Structure 1
């Protein structure tokens, strides 16, 4: 029944309704004094009836934004009182136009159509009512009757046009408001989507950087613990590798934090030239990568493709360190239109990856970001990661 309306708008509506009443009431007295003499015959009663109808109609206009449902009911009540008192259509009926605008602009869907029917039906009723008043005062013969009917039809057309235009203006304003709400909702949805993409990117980058480094550190620490009693020099070498890997991970985390404070892409990103360092870390962790590159890259691949290849290999080799059992085969095929990446390794059944963890999800997202695809899963006794990345795909 009542809409949430700010106090400021409610005050504006009330002041506007009071202003409308003050302006239209004198005009009503001037235009309708002769009609009142014929129908009521008492000037004090005329003043009271005009004031009452004017208060009802402009009161409906005052609450039309707050409650279009109540306003249309009050407006119809005022119109019935006006016709029952024999008052002619006059300036105070402008309050009805305000109410019709409100039903279309702020009413529910049902009130919207009730307002449209009221605009059409009320205009027709007003024209017929005007014809009845005209015929009751001026009809003397058939010619005057025909003239009254024509005038009544003309007035009905005028009333319908005015009311439908007022209702249509409100409907247009309703469309404008809905368009604004749609734009706001779209902007909020885009903001939420951007935030979600940023969270996913942060999670993916943190996983790629931290998981690989920690896997190398854990493997070296386990090896150093067993080697300390037999070959202390190997333990020292393992500790050196741990320190080097930790420093690299710290540098990568600092780079990631720099990107988060500014924008993605600031600072250097891993390229194909960094793959040898990655393979060396894997070897130090106790896993021997058997690398095959055929054919070789035809030129300098795009930076996004190089980053995707590096991150996919980094995560696949990290899984081989954590779950693998022996060597890992890495095959790169740089074709004219795409690069195919295959990483396969035997795995320990009790620690086998399921193919749906954060690492696999991250690799799949890396491939999709450049317009490619990635599949990962068990094939016989091996866990295989297959990726196909289009060269020059979407960045």
Structure 2
């Protein structure tokens, strides 16, 4: 029954109803004073009748936005009182049009159709009543009855047209509001989807940077601990590698956090030229990758492809450091329309990488990297080896 509306709109509606009552009441006296004397001879009684009906109808208009259902009931009550007193159509009836607009614009679906029926039925009833009562003729013969019927039909047509137009205007406003709400919901959904994609991207980049760097640091730290007693110089070299790797990881993490905080651009990203640095870090971690590039890249591959190749190799080599036994084969084939990536390493005894799609942020991240550029990636264990195969299209995805 009561809709939640702001106090400002409630004040606007009340002030508008007061202004409407103040404007239509003098017009009502001017338009209806001549015909009222036949039913209410007392002039003071006529004034009271006009004022009461006007207050009821414009009171309904004042609460039309707050409670369209209650406003419709009050408007019907005012119309019945108006007909019961024999009052003619007057300017204060404009309040009924406001109520019909409100039922279509802000009412429930049921109230919407009740308002439409009220517009049609009220117009017919009002036209028939005022056509017969205010025809100025006594129904003494067939001619006077025909004249009254024609007047009633004409007035009913006018009333129905005006009321249905008011109700239709409210229905149109309802459609506009629904369209706006749909647009807002779609914009919110798009914003949430974009934010989710951004979080996934940041999480993927963070994992690629942190997981690889920590794998190298852990491998170097283990090696330095075992070699500290026998060969201090090896321990010193391992500590230098740890420091260098940690500084690089810290720089990458700061860049990612800056993007996340300030929504800046991607900034500098790894390219094929950085692969040698990646391989050097892997060698320092105790893994000797056997690298084959055949054929070589035909020109300068797109930056997105270079980034995807780097991140996929980074994660695959990180898995080799964590789960391998010290040997890994890397094969890159730069074909005219695609680049193929193959990484295979022997799995050391103990827990092995999980299958792609069954868990593990790194393997899922590799697949997302491939899918972002229109490619595909498979990662699985075959016997004692773990294989990663990726295909990335160069140019437009097939």
Shared fold (TM-score, shorter chain, > 0.5) = yes
2:377 touches 2:390 (CA, 8 Å); kept in 1?
Answer: yes
Higher mean displacement: 208-217 or 222-231: 222-231
Secondary structure at 2:365's aligned position in 1?
Answer: helix
**How big is the shift at 1:349?**
4.9
Q: 2:184 aligned with 1:184, yes or no?
A: yes
Under a length normalisation based on structure 1, what TM-score does the superposition of the two structures give?
0.94
Aligned to 1:217: 217
**How big is the shift at 1:101?**
0.7
Aligned pairs, number: 393
Over aligned residues, Cα RMSD in angstroms?
1.8
- Rounded to whole Å, the distance in 2 between the matches of 1:345 and 1:161 is 82
Secondary structure at 2:379's aligned position in 1?
Answer: strand
Q: Against the structure 1 CA distance between its residues 350 and 181, is the aligned structure 2 distance closer, same or farther, given a 3 Å change threshold?
A: same
**How big is the shift at 1:318?**
0.4
Aligned to 1:265: 266
* 1:119-158 superposed matches below 5 A: 119-135=119-135, 137-158=137-158
- Rounded to whole Å, the distance in 2 between the matches of 1:10 and 1:348 is 74
Corresponding residue to 1:389 among 380, 392, 396: 392
- Rounded to whole Å, the distance in 1 between the matches of 2:388 and 2:66 is 63
Corresponding residue to 1:375 among 375, 378, 392: 378
1:212 touches 1:315 (CA, 8 Å); kept in 2?
Answer: yes
- Rounded to whole Å, the distance in 2 between the matches of 1:360 and 1:264 is 25
Aligned to 1:275: 275
Higher mean displacement: 250-259 or 363-372: 250-259
Aligned to 1:195: 195
Aligned to 1:360: 363
- Rounded to whole Å, the distance in 2 between the matches of 1:60 and 1:116 is 17
Gaps of 5+ in 1: none
- Rounded to whole Å, the distance in 2 between the matches of 1:93 and 1:111 is 21
* 1:67-146 superposed matches below 5 A: 67-135=67-135, 137-146=137-146
Under a length normalisation based on structure 2, what TM-score does the superposition of the two structures give?
0.93
**How big is the shift at 1:300?**
0.8
Higher mean displacement: 281-290 or 26-35: 26-35
Q: Against the structure 1 CA distance between its residues 132 and 262, is the aligned structure 2 distance closer, same or farther, given a 3 Å change threshold?
A: closer
Aligned to 1:160: 160
Gaps of 5+ in 2: none
Q: Against the structure 1 CA distance between its residues 263 and 46, is the aligned structure 2 distance closer, same or farther, given a 3 Å change threshold?
A: same
1:135 touches 1:145 (CA, 8 Å); kept in 2?
Answer: no
Deviations 1:44-95 (A, max 9, x none): 3222222111111110000001111110111111111111222222111100
- Rounded to whole Å, the distance in 1 between the matches of 2:10 and 2:259 is 49
Aligned to 1:50: 50
